[in-house]
Amino acid sequence: MKNEQQPVPTNLLDVVIPTVKSLYIETYFGKQLLSSATCFLLSRTKESHCVAVTNRHVVTGRHQETGKPLDPRGGIPDAVVIHFNKAGSALTEWTAIRLPLYREDGSPYWIEHPSLGTEGDLVALNVVWGSDVERLPYYLDLDMDRVQMVLSPAEPVSVIGFPFGMSSYAKYPIWATGFLAQDLGFVTPENPTFYIDCRSRQGQSGSPVIAFRTQGARLRRDGRVSATLDPNPKWEFLGIYSGRVNTESDLGIVWHVSILGDLVDAAETDMRKRSL
């Protein structure tokens, strides 16, 4: 495994932006490490509320459908440690910040989706931001991460995370690339997930899923679809990876980006209420 602190290469100009947006997260019961997964930061704009997002089953430590503990010893996490990019380090160092998962009254710190509730395998964590970490979120309302790319079934998509707790270098994630396994037109507010065909594994729960193109893409502008040959890389943030449909399949479930704005807004509302 490559999660130990290592010297970071100097050719960071060759590292693409989505690589530095995936964050390594660990779950703990007391001092006992239970598991590792992936999370990322999410915001509407550069000025708006910013949260850390991962899967609900990561923070509960339980299977999303059966409710059974995921840890073979039966451990349920009471804290997470997120390895944030360290401020002022030119993205070459990380700061590990421990966040409790439960308040003194037993209520969870995490925020669930306002309409999906416990049925949605996605949660937000409010963080009190200091000057010691860099904030590099995916932006929902800006064209930095959402260029209105038009995608069809069988097109490549990438899950950017930490399979089996592994990293590509230091605490940079690994890109697992597969294919869109359905038409995105079938995604609705009542059916906010879609399938991908990708050899993703344990530890990639909570990973951002994107379509990344280096040699042109189809974009929707003013209701029309056109092809671009822009030599600069483009990517479309598609949602948060939740896991495989079962252990025998490479079909994975992604919660679509269209529902994530409500999650960010719910987290902001929760923080404001508690600050009164």
**What span, in angstroms and rounded, lies between the C-alpha atoms of 223 and 235?**
19
> Lowest-pLDDT range, 2-11, 30-39, 156-165, 177-186?
2-11
User: Given a cut of 50, is residue 125 above it in pLDDT?
Assistant: yes
Please give the residue range of the domain that contains residue 109. 12-138+261-275
Distance CA 268, CA 13 (A): 34
Taking the model in full, what pTM does it have?
0.92
Q: Report yes or no on 3 lying in a domain.
A: no
Same domain, yes or no: 91 and 153:
no
Please check the confidence at residue 29 and state whether its pLDDT lies above 70: yes
Residue 4 lies in a domain: no
Residues 201 and 146 in one domain: yes
Q: CA angle at residue 55 from 173 to 270, to 5 degrees? A: 115
9 pLDDT band, cuts 50/70/90, is: low
Segment 26-48 mean pLDDT: 97
Instruction: Give the DSSP letter of residue 8.
Output: P
What is the percent of the chain with per-residue pLDDT over 70, rounded to a whole number? 95
Measured distance CA(10)–CA(198) in Å, rounded: 31
Q: Using one digit for the tens of pLDDT, what is the confidence trace for 138-179?
A: 999 999 999 999 999 999 999 999 999 999 988 999 999 999
Mean pLDDT of 97-121: 97
Q: Report the C-alpha dihedral over residues 150, 142, 52, 58, rounded to 10 degrees.
A: -10
Answer yes or no: do 162 and 233 share one domain. yes
265 with 132, same domain? yes
Regarding whether 238 and 163 lie in a shared domain, the answer is yes
Structure tokens at 20: 């530095």
Residue 30 shares a structural domain with residue 130: yes
Residue at 2 is within a domain: no
As a whole number of angstroms, the distance between CA 219 and CA 117 comes to 33
Q: 178 lies in a domain? A: yes
Structural domain includes residue 212: yes
Per-residue pLDDT tens over the stretch 166-221: 999 889 999 999 999 999 999 999 999 999 999 888 899 999 999 999 877 778 87
CATH code for the domain of 266: 2.40.10.10
Q: Give me the number of domains the chain comprises.
A: 2
87 and 22 share a domain?
yes
For residue 1, the model assigns a pLDDT of 41
What is the C-alpha radius of gyration for the chain, rounded to an integer number of angstroms? 18
Q: Tokens at residue 167, please?
A: 């990293």
19 and 131 belong to one structural domain: yes
Q: Is residue 224 part of a domain?
A: yes
Between CA 131 and CA 88 the distance in angstroms is 9
Look at residue 4 in the predicted model and tell me its pLDDT: 47
In a domain, 5, yes or no: no
Angle formed at CA 129 by CA 121 and CA 26, multiple of 5 degrees = 45
Q: Residue 181 and residue 261: Cα distance in Å, rounded?
A: 24
Do 76 and 157 fall within a single domain?
no
Q: Clarify whether residues 186 and 247 are in a common domain.
A: yes
DSSP state of 5: -
Domain match, 133 and 199 both: no
> For residue 129, is it within any domain?
yes
Cα→Cα distances 18→99, 145, 223, Å: 24, 9, 27
Rounded Cα distance, 71 and 36, in Å: 11
Q: Verify that 209 and 106 share a domain, yes or no.
A: no
